[in-house]
Amino acid sequence: MGGYTSQELTAIFVMQGFSGLSLFCVFLLMALGLAIIFGQMGVINMAHGEFLTLGAYITWMVSELATETWPWMQEFYFPLAVVLAFAGTFILGYLVEMLLIRRLYSRPLDTLLATWGLGLILQQIYRSTFGPREVSVVMPDWLMGSWAPTDIIDIPLNGLFVMGITSLMTLLVVILLYRSRWGIKVRATTQNRAMANAAGINTQRVDRFTFALGCGIAGVAGAAFTTIASTGPTTGSLYIVDTFLVVVFGGAASLLGTVVSAFGIAQSQSILEFFLSGSMAKVITLLTVVGILMFRPQGLFASKVRR
Amino acid sequence: MHDSTRSKPAWKRRLLGLALSTGLGFSGMVGATEVNTTGLAVTDDTVKVGILHSITGTMAISETGSVEAEMLAIEQINAAGGVLGRQIEIIQEDGASDWPTFAEKARKLLVQDNVAAVFGCWTSASRKAVLPVFENENGMLYYPTFYEGLEQSKNVIYTGQEATQQIIAGLDWIAEEKDAKTFYLVGSDYIWPRTSNKIARKHIEDVLGGTVVGEEYYPLGNTNFGSLINKIRLKKPDVVYSSIVGGSNVAWWKQLKAAGITSDRQTIMTISVTEDEVLGIGGENMEGFYSAMKYFQSLDNENNVAFVDAFKERWGDDSVIGDVTQAAYLGPWLWKAAVEKAGSFDVDAVAAASPGIELTTAPEGYVKVHDNHHLWSKLRVGRWNADGQAEVVYESDLIEPNPFPEGYQ
């Protein structure tokens, strides 16, 4: 790194650290919903990305409405959009569980195919409804641009925003899972469905709510990602591979595992990208993950579930 | 494909044609057999053509504009009396963003429907997939996308620019305008950006006397450009030269803007952003950056004003027209001109008549088909405004297409 002042190098170091952190938040936010569904219920939801897309489209609709109908709302619509994105995807998730997933609990491979098909159907519905072209969500001014603590450091505001949402959602999920009656029921159902049933837990209702919640979180992720990336019918598929990677690498049933794995993958990706090219960074990250999974097939943090 | 779907034996077709042409011979029109000796779907008052694009799947985002433009052109040709007095009928097939599907549908259009020409394909991968089909079945393809070059076929007319047409004049302009010496090349990781950057690097180093301080590729669909943006900050190149495509494109420009890299701090030129892409990126995120293309919707000439009006009337006021959409619009008109010059729908005759065809009515101005089946065209540099339209700041002379540039490979 010849020819650079130490001040410049510090600035780059700070910004690079932030870039890794924001990638971590993106990974974590999209993996949270899947961690609940895949981790707690064992359902491989291939349509997870399409729930994310729905959240993004809901955000776009609210933004259009705000720009065209209520211009005064322009600055404030975003929080409302996030809430609506959650509500919309939660409801869709609830219906999907009721009509489709519920019938396939004992057949994991069929679930995989069924949800993949569902994903394709949803993609085409988005395409027919919103058109095949990508749409752009108009950002409120407070989400644009960057915060510059010094002359040469720029911290993107939308990155900070995604970080905020990720922290909030993670906190909510932790509280729900480990500090609420519903969480106790979910964990009981995960550990031993028959016993949970016998103890008077309505496992069917628990399943339905768990699935819907996971989808709702995907919707929030979709809303948050409109600030950093594209909104189109296939947006969700940009994230789905990384999402599964994070969840599988972390150990399916462990929330802590998801957090650690998202952090590890994001940081190594981000650091490698800085020293190598983007494609090589991806190759090395994936090879490392595959290598580690060969020795720890159950993921970083194995759960102690009796099978 | 199944052999059973192949067309009727030649003698039956000829008999049928004979019956039709004698029946209508007194009308004074040229009979179907004379303009069609190869069994194409041509009657005395209609001719069938195919449109083959993805209307489902990932690529639908890009190909929709092309379908719209081709349909508009065909409708206009029909309204003006058709081709050799025959109304054009469209058979549309969906390539579904899947390359084997493209090949299968191309075969269906050529073998089963006997279409006289096909307007279609968008990605190089889909074109490569259908190319053997068009060559074996002797069909005619009009391909609209700007692409990496290194290809030439008797059965294809390339209505978009090949790489040297798009790259060299643009680099010359920006190097002079911004007194640029250092360049940072970025792209998505597939053949078009890699070939384009090979040409760009060669030109920068050998002709412009500049240096390439970085060359990088990101996987298609990558949505995080934080590290790349930091590297650009560190290297401080005079120009960033981008060929990032698809969903990544939106993430790339949004994150540049969010990182405080605006056009007054960094010059960026791209060869992969048209009006279509700006819809998804948002004009406010592109403001002040440059695109090098042959066409922009804002072009100020009579042909283009009429074209934009007709397009909006047909497809809605909100529609935008990008470079490839305009190139797709040229396809049916070039085909019509070639058929009329040849006096025949036969593919061999049309292919032979194509070189030298001129269109003075093209929205991009004047184009002419070269012997190598590519078009002579100009290169323009557009500077994006916040409203999603570009202001043309540079226009080159007509550039000769050169799909096999020597020394650039």
* B104: in domain: yes
| Intra-chain end-to-end CA distance of chain A, in Å | 53
**Tens digit of pLDDT per residue, chain A (307 long)?**
456 777 777 888 888 888 888 889 888 998 988 888 887 788 888 999 999 999 999 999 998 888 888 777 777 788 889 999 999 999 999 999 999 988 887 787 888 899 999 999 999 899 889 887 788 887 777 777 778 777 777 788 888 888 999 999 999 989 988 899 888 888 888 888 888 889 888 888 888 999 999 999 999 999 988 888 878 888 888 888 888 888 888 887 778 888 999 999 998 888 888 888 888 888 999 999 999 888 888 888 765 554 4
Mean confidence (pLDDT) of chain B: 89
Chain B contact present for A279, CB below 8 A: yes
* B31: in domain: yes
Question: What is d(CA A118, CA B315) in angstroms, rounded to the nearest whole number?
Answer: 30
Answer whether B171's CB lies under 8 Å from B199's CB.
no
Confidence check: pLDDT of B221 > 50:
yes
Question: What is d(CA A277, CA A289) in angstroms, rounded to the nearest whole number?
Answer: 18
Answer whether B393's CB lies under 8 Å from B364's CB.
no
Q: Does B72 share its domain with B154?
A: yes
B259 pLDDT band, cuts 50/70/90, is confident
Report the pLDDT value the prediction gives residue B56, as an integer from 0 to 100: 79
Q: Does B86 share its domain with B186?
A: no
Confidence check: pLDDT of B28 > 50:
no
Residues 6 or more apart whose CB falls under 8 angstroms from that of B367 comprise: B330, B358, B359, B375, B376, B377
Question: What is d(CA B316, CA B65) in angstroms, rounded to the nearest whole number?
Answer: 12
Q: Does B228 share its domain with B323?
A: no
* A227: in domain: yes
Question: What is d(CA A215, CA A236) in angstroms, rounded to the nearest whole number?
Answer: 12
Mean pLDDT, residues B359-377:
95
pTM of the full structure: 0.84
Answer whether B290's CB lies under 8 Å from B268's CB.
yes
Report the pLDDT value the prediction gives residue B405, as an integer from 0 to 100: 86
Alpha-carbon torsion (B125, B352, B140, B342), positive or negative = positive
Cross-chain Cβ contact B258/A127 below 8 Å: no
Cross-strand pairs, B347: none
* B400: in domain: no
Tokens of A206: 């628990």
Mean pLDDT, residues B16-26:
43
Answer whether A221's CB lies under 8 Å from A265's CB.
no
Q: Does B58 share its domain with B191?
A: no
Mean pLDDT, residues B194-205:
92
Confidence check: pLDDT of B260 > 90:
no
**pLDDT tens, residue by residue, B74-120:** 999 999 999 999 999 999 999 988 889 999 999 999 999 999 999 99
Which CATH number covers residue B66? 3.40.50.2300
Task: Please give the residue of chain A at the shortest CA–CA distance from B220.
Answer: A238
Question: What is d(CA B223, CA B253) in angstroms, rounded to the nearest whole number?
Answer: 11
Task: Please give the residue of chain B at the shortest CA–CA distance from A22.
Answer: B226
Chain B contact present for A197, CB below 8 A: no
* B240: in domain: yes
Q: Does B340 share its domain with B225?
A: no
Answer whether B178's CB lies under 8 Å from B210's CB.
no
Q: Does B384 share its domain with B237?
A: yes
| Domain span holding position B214 | 163-293+379-395
Q: State what percent of residues in chain B have pLDDT above 70.
A: 92
* B403: in domain: no
Answer whether A268's CB lies under 8 Å from A288's CB.
yes
Q: Does B264 share its domain with B245?
A: yes
Answer whether A207's CB lies under 8 Å from A200's CB.
no
Chain B contact present for A157, CB below 8 A: yes
Answer whether B109's CB lies under 8 Å from B115's CB.
yes
What angle do the packed helices A255-275 and A6-34 form, to 10 degrees? 140
Number of domains in chain A: 1
* B180: in domain: yes
**DSSP state, B52?**
E
Residues 6 or more apart whose CB falls under 8 angstroms from that of B6 comprise: B111
Q: Does B173 share its domain with B253?
A: yes
* B113: in domain: yes
**How close B68 comes to chain A (CA, Å)?**
13
Residue A300 CA: distances (Å) to CA of A43, A207, A248, A257, A294: 20, 25, 9, 6, 11
* B77: in domain: yes
Chain B contact present for A283, CB below 8 A: no
Number of domains in chain B: 2
> Which among B55, B218, B254 has CB closest to A278?
B218
Q: Does B230 share its domain with B326?
A: no
ipTM over 0.95: no
Chain A residues touching B61 at Cβ < 8 A: 132-134, 232-234
Q: Which one, of B239, B231, B236, B233, lies nearest residue B200 by Cα?
A: B239
| Domain span holding position A64 | 18-138+153-240
Question: What is d(CA B349, CA B339) in angstroms, rounded to the nearest whole number?
Answer: 8
Confidence check: pLDDT of B25 > 50:
no
Chain A residues touching B230 at Cβ < 8 A: 12, 15-16, 19, 274
Chain A residues touching B255 at Cβ < 8 A: 156, 228
Confidence check: pLDDT of B1 > 60:
no
Rg (CA), chain A: 20
Interface probe for B, chosen from A235, A241, A277 (most Cβ of B below 10 Å), is A277
* A293: in domain: no
Q: Does B84 share its domain with B187?
A: no
Amino acid at B400: E
Report the pLDDT value the prediction gives residue B409, as an integer from 0 to 100: 62
B359 pLDDT band, cuts 50/70/90, is very high
Chain B residues touching A271 at Cβ < 8 A: 227
Cross-chain Cβ contact A238/B250 below 8 Å: no
Cross-chain Cβ contact A234/B259 below 8 Å: no
Alpha-carbon torsion (A84, A85, A86, A91), positive or negative = positive
Answer whether B113's CB lies under 8 Å from B91's CB.
yes
Q: Does B182 share its domain with B139?
A: no
Q: Does B150 share its domain with B14?
A: yes
Host H or E run for residue A265: helix A255-275
